[in-house]
Amino acid sequence: MERPTHVVRHSRSTGAGLGDLGDGMSDRELLELAAKAAGIEFWFPRMNGGKNEDGTRIILTPCHTKMDGEVVEWNPLTDDGDALRLAVKLDMRVSPCCARIPSGGLFTEDDEGDDFAATRRAIVRAAAEIGKELK
């Protein structure tokens, strides 16, 4: 199998739409593919049809089920621990703002000065790439 030698870069300030990385994938799609790559059962719960009692929209938190059946929040885009566990499970090499997958692809991010958020996003994008290959 030929190793990719390209670097995939992304900047959140490039004008991509909210939740869209400019490559056509929303945060939700990234999380779904990343979960698939890691073998994590993953979903967005539906509560009250997605609306609060006053009619305002509920922000849904992605969840997964642990082995003991406990349902927990899972969002490696916002949680350092979830991102680290994802990177370790998929044998990534991580440094600030970038993640390298075992096949050689390198994913870098620039998230407006927040190196932690940029690193988490690079990990999720790299995991999503692995998930795409599993389709």
DSSP code at position 94: E
Task: Kindly compute the dihedral angle of the four CA atoms of residues 96, 116, 4, 102, in this order, to the nearest 10 degrees.
Answer: 90
Give the CATH number of the domain where residue 63 resides.
3.30.2120
Q: How many domains does the chain have?
A: 1
Main-chain dihedrals φ then ψ at residue 8, nearest 5 degrees:
-100, 120
Is 1 among the domain residues? no
Helix-then-strand count for the chain, H and E: 3, 7
**Can you give the residue range of the structural domain that contains 89?**
7-133
| Gap between the Cα atoms of 100 and 108, Å rounded | 9
Is 49 among the domain residues? yes
- Give per-residue pLDDT as tens, 79-120: 999 999 999 999 999 999 999 999 989 999 987 789 999 999
Is 121 among the domain residues? yes
Is 119 among the domain residues? yes
Is 120 among the domain residues? yes
Which pLDDT belongs to residue 16? 30
Is 82 among the domain residues? yes
pLDDT of residue 74 exceeding 80: yes
Which pTM value belongs to this model?
0.72
- Give per-residue pLDDT as tens, 7-54: 444 434 332 333 444 466 888 899 989 999 998 887 766 554 555 566
Which pLDDT belongs to residue 48? 46
Is 2 among the domain residues? no
Is 103 among the domain residues? yes
